[in-house]
């Protein structure tokens, strides 16, 4: 994947990919997940995002540093993220 930098913003094939904060890349979850073949669904009621392949997935909520990991539709554990999703 070739990433172009324009100022503080990042692009892949002329599509916006994310930006940097204090030297850390903040990438678009939807863009990256779909690029790797994952499905992305948003639940407006719980304000959570589910990224999955069908069998495996994770659910995150903007503002929370915890991702819930799922296998076969069942939650198996929580994982602490390095940064809070925006």
Quick: pLDDT tens for 14-61. Answer: 899 999 888 888 889 999 999 999 999 999 999 999 999 989 999 999
Residue 50: other Cβ atoms inside 10 A: 18
Is the CB of residue 30 less than 8 Å from the CB of residue 39?
A: no
Q: What angle do CA 26, 31, 37 make, to 5 degrees?
A: 130
Element holding 56 (H helix, E strand): strand 56-60
Q: What is the pLDDT of residue 56?
A: 95
CB atoms within 10 A of CB 10: 19
Domain locations along the chain: 1-28, 38-86
56-82 confidence digits (pLDDT tens): 999 999 999 999 999 998 999 999 998
CATH code matching the domain that covers 38-86, chosen among 3.30.457.10, 3.40.50.720, 3.30.565.10, 3.40.50.1110: 3.30.457.10
């Amino acid at each position: 994947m070739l990433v172009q930098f324009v100022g503080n913003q990042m692009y892949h094939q002329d599509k916006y990919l994310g930006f940097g904060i204090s030297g850390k890349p903040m990438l678009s979850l939807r863009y990256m997940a779909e690029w790797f073949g994952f499905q992305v669904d948003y639940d407006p009621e719980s304000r959570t995002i589910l990224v999955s392949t069908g069998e495996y997935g994770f659910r995150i909520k903007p503002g929370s540093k915890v991702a819930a990991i799922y296998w076969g539709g069942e939650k198996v554990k929580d994982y602490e993220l390095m940064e809070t999703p925006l």
